[in-house]
Amino acid sequence: MSTNVTRIIGIDPGIASVGVAILENPRAKLIAAQHFEANAKTLDCRVAKYAKYFDELLEEYKPDIVAIETQYFAPYGKKTGAVASSIIKVGLVRGAFIGVASIRNIPTMGIYPTEAKLALTGDGSANKNKMIEYAQSIFKIKLRITEDHVADALGIALAGLKQTLVLPITLEDKKK
């Protein structure tokens, strides 16, 4: 990856809502953090609303790169079909974001959930509450418990910045 990334958008895609975080170098300055709900009954309408929202976001914030959560699937038990169905739906949402960024010639990168958790909390297995707690502490923002997508998006953006820099950002840097 390039070492001259100055602005990154982190996306945590979901079926009902997405979290978005925009960070800028130096030191991962928080530009914006948002929770967006598509509020549509059908998946195709949600995907269309996400694409329109994201296109407007890219126009406004003009990032150098987009980091988006990469899904993984570990089949287990009786709920495997339901989990697979959710992963397919989130994959469609994820694809909409990647497609919009690609149309605008903005590179994208995938970030695994463990990478986002590690970047934000120092713990690759952190739970939602810990992600929210660290996001609030490091970036000095207030998040409701229902805005876990925003905390995840902050971790995704932070992990993306770390991967594009020669000198990694540390949590200690953020506390200065």
Residue-wise pLDDT for 36-67, tens only, equals 999 999 999 999 999 999 999 999 999 999 99
- Could you list the beta-strand ranges (E) of 88-153: 108-111
Which one, of 130, 115, 125, lies nearest residue 160 by Cα?
115
CATH class of 7-175: alpha beta
pLDDT value at position 143? 85
More confident residue, 84 or 118: 118
Q: What is the pTM of this model?
A: 0.87
pLDDT value at position 154? 96
Average pLDDT on 144-160 reads 91
Read out DSSP for 34-62?
A: EEEE---SSHHHHHHHHHHHHHHHHHHH-
Per-residue pLDDT at 17 exceeds 50: yes
Per-residue pLDDT at 77 exceeds 90: no
pLDDT value at position 146? 76
Amino acid at 5: V
Which one, of 86, 16, 88, lies nearest residue 45 by Cα?
16
Measured CA to CA, the distance from residue 144 to residue 146 in angstroms comes to 5
